[in-house]
Structure 1
Amino acid sequence: MTVTTIFGIGIEDSDIVKIATVIVTASVAIFLFFLNQFFNRAKEKRELITEKTEELFLAAAGYSDKALNTIDYALDNFNALVKYEEKVTEEVLKFHAKNISELFIEISKVQMLLELYFRKYSKSSKYPLTTECNLKQILIDIDSKNLTLINSAQSVVVTTEQKIYQFCSYIAELNQAPFYKKVILKKKSN
């Protein structure tokens, strides 16, 4: 039996093989642990983005539906709301105010989801909210008692809804793509 000295400790050659085996096994186990953590985190992130993309899609539908209903109501009651004619009941005014309030909540949901979960895409050409697209401006336009602004708000709502749906499709495609394709998709969108 041969004894080798490592760090001032005498170790037999047969023990060196055992120690080397233990070190290699431990290294592989640690590597696999961290690799597993990496893939679990990536999967959890992908699932979260999928969930939030679905929420954004539904919030956009809710926003669009509420906005178009509010605009239709404002147009149907335009003369009464503008002139505050005697036939305008308190009920009509309350209902209009309630619609505006509910629309504000829907707009806030859309903006919150975009800001919290999709801010990193704000430089992308696919990002639905740009500096010229202010969702809260729609509230001002609808409540303005200006027929032209109310009518233009309708087209802004439809356009914004389409942009959000396209953005959701882009995120879904990006979220399902392998890593190397994500880089290519991001470069194409900019």
Structure 2
Amino acid sequence: MNWIIEIFVDKSDQARLVAILISAVVAIFVVLLNQWFVSRRSKRELLIEKIEELFSASNEYVSACRELMDALSQQDIVHPERYYEYPSESVNKLNDSITKMQMICGLYFRAEKFSPDDFYIWRMPILEIAHKEKYLPEGKGHMAYEDSKAHIRTSREKLDDLCKRLMRKHGH
């Protein structure tokens, strides 16, 4: 320890030491600040990527709902002896998109409180009625069909609003 004191006995050497220490502190501060900005930018980029994935999953969900409704309208469900079977590809697409949206929201956007119950297939009453082979009077069947179409529109609006909120919050 004495050798350090002996080296910096002269005033010019002490001034040099202070300059070196200040430079070192500034350099460390700049590196830490740069690291903070880089990690913040990469987090923002990751969140933007996840918002894009969420939007894609929401489009897949709405597409699957429409496919199910189209498949139903192509079936002749008036005859009770015919059993309506959900197209498995559309059902899988619908369930996969719900799971993906739930996972993305659960991992990255917990504050949004995404509820998968709002989107399951039984939210479209006409599909449930056709699948369970229930016979309804014409007016009630039409109302169930319209309610199912309204569910698709409402779901599209909810999912679009969710994505827009997230874009405003994380995309600036």
**Fold in common (TM above 0.5):** yes
1:47 maps to which residue?
A: 45
Normalising by structure 1, we get a TM-score of: 0.69
Contact 2:105/2:112 (CA < 8 Å) preserved in 1? Answer: no
Contact 2:61/2:93 (CA < 8 Å) preserved in 1? Answer: no
1:182 maps to which residue?
A: none
TM-superposed deviation, 1:156 = 1.7
The 1:137–1:102 alpha-carbon spacing in structure 2 relative to 1, beyond 3 Å, is: closer
Normalising by structure 2, we get a TM-score of: 0.75
The one-letter amino acid of 1:63's match is Y
Please give the alpha-carbon distance, in whole angstroms, between the structure 2 residues aligned to 1:60 and 1:43. Answer: 26
Structure 1 SS opposite 2:58 = helix
Contact 2:124/2:147 (CA < 8 Å) preserved in 1? Answer: no
TM-superposed deviation, 1:134 = 2.0
Give deviations 1:26-45, integer Å, cap 9, x for gaps. Answer: 00010001100110011101
Please give the alpha-carbon distance, in whole angstroms, between the structure 1 residues aligned to 2:76 and 2:28. Answer: 70
For residue 100 of structure 1, the aligned residue among 71, 91, 94 is 91
* Equivalent residue pairs, number: 157
Please give the alpha-carbon distance, in whole angstroms, between the structure 1 residues aligned to 2:25 and 2:112. Answer: 38
1:143 maps to which residue?
A: 128
Structure 1 SS opposite 2:153 = helix
Counterparts of residues 30-179 of structure 1 (less than 5 Å): 30-77=28-75, 79=77, 83-85=80-82, 93=85, 96-122=87-113, 129-130=114-115, 134-138=118-122, 141=125, 142-145=127-130, 147=141, 148-149=143-144, 151-177=146-172
Contact 2:55/2:160 (CA < 8 Å) preserved in 1? Answer: yes
Which consecutive residues of structure 1, in runs of 5 or more, have no partner in the other structure?
1-5, 123-128, 178-190
Contact 1:104/1:139 (CA < 8 Å) preserved in 2? Answer: no
Contact 2:57/2:101 (CA < 8 Å) preserved in 1? Answer: yes
TM-superposed deviation, 1:140 = 7.3
The 1:134–1:171 alpha-carbon spacing in structure 2 relative to 1, beyond 3 Å, is: same
The 1:112–1:151 alpha-carbon spacing in structure 2 relative to 1, beyond 3 Å, is: farther
Contact 2:102/2:115 (CA < 8 Å) preserved in 1? Answer: no
Please give the alpha-carbon distance, in whole angstroms, between the structure 1 residues aligned to 2:92 and 2:107. Answer: 22
TM-superposed deviation, 1:171 = 1.6
Which consecutive residues of structure 2, in runs of 5 or more, have no partner in the other structure?
135-140
Please give the alpha-carbon distance, in whole angstroms, between the structure 2 residues aligned to 1:99 and 1:176. Answer: 32
1:9 maps to which residue?
A: 5
Please give the alpha-carbon distance, in whole angstroms, between the structure 2 residues aligned to 1:33 and 1:121. Answer: 34
Higher strand share: 1
CA RMSD of aligned residues (A): 2.8
Contact 1:66/1:103 (CA < 8 Å) preserved in 2? Answer: yes
The 1:130–1:112 alpha-carbon spacing in structure 2 relative to 1, beyond 3 Å, is: closer
Please give the alpha-carbon distance, in whole angstroms, between the structure 2 residues aligned to 1:153 and 1:140. Answer: 4
Please give the alpha-carbon distance, in whole angstroms, between the structure 2 residues aligned to 1:138 and 1:150. Answer: 12
Please give the alpha-carbon distance, in whole angstroms, between the structure 1 residues aligned to 2:63 and 2:36. Answer: 40
